[in-house]
Amino acid sequence: MNLDSEMLIELAHTTMPFGKYAGRSLIKLPEPYLLWFANKGFPQNRLGQLLALALLIRTEGLEHLLDPITKPVAPSTNRLQ
Name the DSSP letter for residue 44: S
| pLDDT in the model for residue 68 | 75
* pLDDT, tens digit, 9 for 90 and up, residues 8-44: 899 989 999 999 999 999 999 999 999 999 999 999 9
Residue ranges per domain, the chain?
5-70
The pTM of the full predicted model, rounded to 2 decimals, is 0.80
Confirm if 50 and 17 have CB atoms less than 8 A apart.
Answer: no
Residue 15 main-chain phi, psi, to 5 deg: -110, 160
The answer to whether 25 and 15 are in contact (CB under 8 A) is: yes
Q: Give, in order, the Cα–Cα distances in Å from 27 to each of 20, 54, 69, 75, 76.
A: 15, 5, 12, 25, 28
What CA–CA distances, in Å, run from 54 to 2, 43, 73? 14, 14, 23
What percent of the chain shows pLDDT beyond 70? Answer: 83
